[in-house]
Amino acid sequence: PIVEGKPSPFAVPAGCFALSVREVQHYTDRLFRFRVSRPREFRFRSGEFVMIGLPNAEKPVFRAYSIASPAWDEELEFFSIKVPDGPLTEHLQKIREGDTILMRKKPTGTLVNDALEPGKRLWMFSTGTGIAPFASLIRDPETYDKFGTLILTHGCRLVDELKYGQDLVAALREDPLIGELVEGRLIHYPTVTREPFEHQGRITDLITSGKLFEDLGLSRMGPEDDRAMICGSMAMLKDTKELCLSHGLEEGANNKPAQFVVERAFVD
Ligand code: A2P
């Protein structure tokens, strides 16, 4: 493959694409987003993840990243944390437009429409960068074919950390192609735990107390009408999964669609 931008002294490893960075946006000292070119032959399902690395080492370090852009997009988008001294993100956070990143060719993952039965409501429970796969799914018309209403919850420590999701939803509502489809069918519920905000507290506590459902004017989740996808830290996954089970939902997989699925927000 032809590597645009800075030349790398290292060859592109077998099974990898070398992709050109098109855009980088920093939100806080802990969060940023970037977009890269998409090879024509690269196919994935909205909600899947890939392995990402940098070409500036003999043995590049790879980490799993959910693709935040939908399957129809011409570019690929990623939403990343910056881990101090993190083997990959310490360097990745410095990328600029024109630089090159590596991406393994095979996408995979469980947060895909195929792993769920159709339903009236799809709950997308995320914390931190766990919003990334949902950024893909809420931009994919297929998700609106399969579920009546999408509820995207995003829990963060601080208000500034919500910005990626807020910008995303605002842009989607204005989108000339998919804006109309989204109208009245996408609910965004951001919540913050460490400073004052319109909605406060962990999503798990808001489910348990019932405040989430009260705030939205919706009934509690149940196996008949509701489907859920969960993406966040290990602790968040465990606790939210318990709540899905206690509401009578069954865990699904690609080869056995059911009522909820779980995937970890990988980089930590
Ligand atoms: P808290 O501030 O109470 O820790 P992190 O950046 O650590 O991944 O956290 C992102 C958000 O997820 C924070 O609002 C955090 O709340 C929340 N959180 C952490 N652990 C859990 C959990 N087990 N269940 C639900 N939310 C959680």
Tell whether 100 and 117 lie within a shared domain. Answer: no
- Beta-strand ranges (E) seen in the chain are 16-26, 31-37, 49-53, 63-66, 75-81, 100-104, 119-127, 147-156, 186-192, 226-232, 260-264
Q: Whose CA is nearest to atom 21 of ligand 1?
A: 236
Which residue matches tokens 């705030």? Answer: 215
Q: Is the four-CA dihedral 225, 47, 193, 199 of positive or negative sign?
A: negative
- H helices then E strands: how many in the chain? 8, 11
189 in any annotated domain? yes
8 in any annotated domain? no
* Burial track 98-133 (b if 16+ CB lie within 10 A, e otherwise): ebbbbbbeebebbbbbebbeebebbbbbbbbbbbbb
Dist CA 208 CA 50 (whole Å): 33
Tell whether 190 and 137 lie within a shared domain. Answer: yes
Separation of CA 14 and ligand 1 centre (Å): 38
User: The CATH number of the domain where 256 resides is what?
Assistant: 3.40.50.80
- Per-residue model confidence (pLDDT) at position 104: 97
Q: Which atom of ligand 1 is nearest to the CA of 30?
A: 6
Query: Residue 217 has which token pair?
Result: 């004017």
Tell whether 77 and 127 lie within a shared domain. Answer: no
Separation of CA 156 and ligand 1 centre (Å): 7
- Sequential pLDDT tens for the chain (268 residues): 455 555 666 788 999 999 999 999 999 999 999 999 999 999 999 999 999 999 977 789 999 999 999 999 999 999 999 999 999 999 999 999 999 999 999 999 999 999 999 999 999 999 999 999 999 999 999 999 999 999 999 999 999 999 999 999 999 999 998 999 999 999 999 999 999 999 999 999 999 999 999 999 999 999 999 999 999 999 999 999 999 999 999 999 989 999 999 997 765 5
Query: Residue 166 has which token pair?
Result: 């807020």
Tell whether 123 and 249 lie within a shared domain. Answer: yes
User: The CATH number of the domain where 83 resides is what?
Assistant: 2.40.30.10
* 240: CB partners within 8 A, 6+ apart: 125, 203, 204, 207, 228, 230, 232, 262
Which residue range is the domain that position 130 belongs to? 113-264
- Per-residue model confidence (pLDDT) at position 1: 45
Query: Residue 114 has which token pair?
Result: 């195929």
Separation of CA 194 and ligand 1 centre (Å): 10
Dist CA 160 CA 167 (whole Å): 12
The pick from 81, 83, 127 for probing ligand 1's pocket by mutation, whose C-beta has the most ligand atoms within 8 angstroms, reads 127
Q: Whose CA is nearest to atom 22 of ligand 1?
A: 236
Tell whether 70 and 149 lie within a shared domain. Answer: no
Domain C-terminal end among 82, 104, 126: 104
45 in any annotated domain? yes
167 in any annotated domain? yes
- Per-residue model confidence (pLDDT) at position 113: 96
Tell whether 245 and 154 lie within a shared domain. Answer: yes
Q: Whose CA is nearest to atom 23 of ligand 1?
A: 236
Separation of CA 4 and ligand 1 centre (Å): 39
Tell whether 27 and 93 lie within a shared domain. Answer: yes
- Name the CA dihedral angle for 182, 238, 80, 116, rounded to a multiple of 10 degrees: -40
What DSSP assignment string belongs to 103-139?
EES--B-S-SGGGB--EEEEEEEEEGGGGHHHHHHTT
Burial of 235 (0-12, 13-18, 19+ CB in 10 A): exposed
Separation of CA 42 and ligand 1 centre (Å): 34
91 in any annotated domain? yes
Q: Which atom of ligand 1 is nearest to the CA of 268?
A: 8
Q: Among residues 10, 18, 29, 17, which one has the least CA distance to residue 99?
A: 18
Q: Whose CA is nearest to atom 5 of ligand 1?
A: 128
Q: Torsions phi, psi of 124, nearest 5?
A: -115, 105
Domain C-terminal end among 73, 104, 135: 104
**What is the total count of domains within the chain?**
2
Cα 25 from chain centre: 16
Domain C-terminal end among 55, 75, 104: 104
* 214: CB partners within 8 A, 6+ apart: none
1 in any annotated domain? no
Tell whether 30 and 119 lie within a shared domain. Answer: no
